[in-house]
Chains A and B, each alone.
Chain A
């Protein structure tokens, strides 16, 4: 009996020691981790409009410098009207503007989507015509590495650049991830609304397409205003 008590006691003491060590490490390092996450966010926003490339790892200074120079954080209400950060209401949506030479070149919207295993988070940048996608990035996901996980790779994200969220007649159709390659599967007239999918990851594609559509619908009032040239 005493050996059992000894085992239990040992286990309890060990758990307490290990647990408190981890708590210490986690609280002590949180500040650095949050800083990294914030920086990673800025980096992804810059990446979605092609200001930095994935290949070259930019220094921390370039990232925050570029971000401060070109990116303006704003909020929009349900009508697509701009709201300054201080006055934002509960249902207002965040949006980032890429401002160069006093003119908005593109607007960047955060995308939150369901994935196969967890949430997918990224940014979608749309040019100031309100139709053409200028870039897409994913900064956090839980998809299977090598399959759905490919959504974080360059080859997948590059396909988004230049695609449109409107069809030939000017109706909103969102952007869809095809099941496999676009070539041969999708009619040529719709090529501009589809991007190549990932083989072995149809579900990830399906969920991400739905997430993109939902997000784009939410931001449609803003896109509408860009199309009508109401925002410069």
Chain B
């Protein structure tokens, strides 16, 4: 379970102004629950995800995953947390063009020290589920935008994480492909009891969520389900 408690993150603009990107946000995401953070650009969604992903530290407040603090981790522990406990899907997928789709998808498993054959064996069902099995041995550079987005999802799910974060996962996809990705996210959340958070300004994405939080100027306005 993900607990976010009274998070505050301020940034200083070049003009000397202080912007509260995240301003006293608290929320909880249970296992098997898909939460959508809905809001316009600049509302603080991505900053919130960055804090939960332990890539930036909050100025105040804390984040707990299954009771263990995420905020204040050392760089090494933060990397280990992201490798073993977190799955991340971003709007732009930066794959390694020289590696095959399955090698890219299995990157987390390889980094965790799992043998390549075993990593491949584990990844094939995930790729099948995402409709990428026929493209498993193709180079990432030859995949389409939609395939890359699904590959990114496969990589995020490869370590079967208890927490899945997605930043604008449908931002670079058309409506049909976007819907397919959202459906996959919801199914996966249910099946593996994953706590999933999607940051989006796509109204369609909100419809797939169990709970929708609206963020405006860093503040959590409303919640619906």
A binds B: no
> What residues make up the interface of B, taking CB atoms closer than 8 Å to A?
none
> What residues make up the interface of A, taking CB atoms closer than 8 Å to B?
none
